[in-house]
């Protein structure tokens, strides 16, 4: 059993018309969830309320008996607590080491108060069928919480502890991701959204679970790491000149809402999904979050991952293949090399031998490149040459 206390920091990882057809569709995989893996699920409000009551009652019972009140949940940041399933991603094991939050000192009284306050607010939200953002919860009592990161950490721990998606707690987070292209849907407040309606894309809803009646004639989805590249593609008319498609960006490391929407799109439409990220360890890691999930949210993998996603580019092998100008390449730093080695050791890389080769090539050449480096070849090279050729000839892995 692992003892730990609430952390005041957020764990960061660890963002001319072409006649194109996509004739290489990824296989849609289905299987039942193994019994020894945590599976978060949507629960009726009454069950969520009951689960909260039971946890709080145990804390009160400990206090009434003069015992040290303790909260226990699965440790969310340990690789030995997860199992890799190729058709789902990295999932937290039900039988895994746990993290104890002990309130056994004067300083920990504040942490107990923080937990009790958040339990109280969540209980009220669920009971009244209302919603609040993590930011709003923080500003309900900023003096008590001290930092937004404390609220974020406690809420994610509660979600893991109760084994329910955060939406069941009626807590949302402010969206930063955008979506554009051939996609229409109705939000849970009844608003009709057409993702073609804005020149800069549509901000992703804070309540993705409530989105209904999605419709699209898109032939593929392109997940773009950076907002700058996303906007450049829109400015170049990529969604108009190409066959109908959907563009989505999490603007760097994706937030939960962006991942939820991509997962929802992948379930709704049997079309290929591709990732366009920088040819560097950071971009590759972001892609793995979309495809296989993050360690800290592995307890909710079944709602957040898109295992059918393909790596379209920028591939490390593209750097030499396209003879990208030396002046726009960047040297690999010691931190980059360390991240490459860390990625190679992750369980999902064993299932992706071509990805491993690209990671090894990146390390061997000692240089990395951003998507924007393609502009050194031509300002329109990405939208008019690179992407159409990749999609047409199947240049993804």
Q: Are 249 and 230 in contact (CB under 8 A)?
A: yes
Q: What average pLDDT does the segment 75-85 reach?
A: 79
Annotation says 386 is catalytic: no
Q: Where are the alpha helices (DSSP H) in the chain?
A: 45-64, 108-128, 134-140, 142-145, 148-162, 227-235, 238-241, 256-268, 281-292, 301-304, 316-321, 334-345, 353-365, 381, 387-393
Q: What average pLDDT does the segment 251-264 reach?
A: 93
pLDDT in tens, 134-166: 999 999 999 999 999 999 988 988 888 887 877
The sign one gets for the Cα dihedral 268, 270, 276, 279 is positive
pLDDT of residue 30: 28
* DSSP three-state, residue 372: helix
pLDDT of residue 97: 67
pLDDT of residue 12: 35
Q: What average pLDDT does the segment 236-250 reach?
A: 89
Higher-scoring residue by pLDDT: 361, 91 = 361
Domains and CATH numbers, the chain: 45-172 (1.10.10.10), 174-393 (3.40.1360.10)
pLDDT of residue 80: 75
> Judging by beta carbons within 10 Å of its beta carbon (0-12, 13-18, 19+), is residue 142 exposed, middle or buried?
exposed
Residue 145, C-beta contacts closer than 8 angstroms, at least 6 positions apart: 114, 117, 138, 151
User: pLDDT grade, residue 370 (50/70/90)?
Assistant: very high
State the catalytic residue, choosing from 123, 138, 139, 185: 139
Identify the CA nearest to 374 among candidates 226, 262, 273, 257.
226
């Amino acid at each position: 059993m692992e003892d730990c206390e609430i952390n005041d920091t957020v764990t960061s990882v660890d963002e001319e018309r072409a006649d194109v057809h996509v004739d290489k569709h990824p296989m849609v995989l289905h299987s039942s969830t193994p019994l020894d893996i945590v599976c978060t699920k949507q629960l009726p409000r009454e069950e969520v309320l009951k689960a909260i009551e039971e946890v709080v009652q145990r804390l009160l019972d400990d206090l009434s008996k003069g015992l040290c009140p303790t909260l226990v949940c699965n440790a969310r940041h340990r690789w030995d607590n997860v199992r890799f399933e190729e058709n789902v991603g990295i999932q937290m094991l039900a039988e895994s080491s746990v993290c104890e939050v002990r309130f056994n000192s004067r300083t920990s009284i504040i942490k107990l108060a923080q937990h009790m306050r958040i339990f109280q607010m969540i209980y009220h939200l669920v009971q009244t069928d209302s919603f609040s953002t993590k930011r709003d919860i923080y500003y309900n009592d900023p003096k008590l919480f001290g930092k937004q990161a404390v609220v974020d950490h406690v809420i994610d721990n509660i979600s893991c502890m109760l084994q329910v998606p955060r939406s069941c707690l009626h807590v949302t987070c402010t969206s930063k991701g955008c979506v554009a292209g051939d996609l229409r849907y109705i939000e849970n407040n009844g608003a009709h959204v057409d993702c073609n309606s804005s020149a800069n894309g549509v901000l992703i809803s804070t309540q993705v679970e409530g989105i209904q009646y999605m419709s699209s004639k898109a032939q593929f989805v392109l997940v773009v790491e950076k907002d700058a590249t996303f906007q450049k593609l829109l400015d170049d008319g990529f969604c108009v000149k190409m066959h109908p498609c959907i563009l989505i960006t999490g603007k760097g490391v994706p937030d939960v809402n962006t991942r939820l929407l991509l997962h929802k799109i992948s379930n709704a439409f049997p079309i290929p999904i591709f990732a366009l990220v920088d040819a560097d360890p950071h971009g590759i890691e972001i892609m793995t979050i979309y495809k296989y999930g993050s360690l800290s949210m592995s307890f909710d993998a079944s709602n957040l991952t898109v295992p059918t996603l393909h790596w379209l580019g920028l591939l490390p092998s593209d750097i030499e293949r396209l003879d990208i100008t030396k002046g726009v390449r960047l040297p690999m730093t010691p931190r980059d090399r360390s991240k490459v080695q860390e990625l190679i050791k992750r369980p999902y890389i064993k299932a992706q031998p071509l990805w491993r080769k690209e990671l090894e090539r990146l390390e061997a050449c000692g240089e990395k490149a951003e998507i924007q480096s393609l502009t050194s070849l031509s300002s329109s090279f990405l939208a008019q040459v690179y992407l159409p050729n990749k999609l047409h000839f199947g240049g993804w892995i």
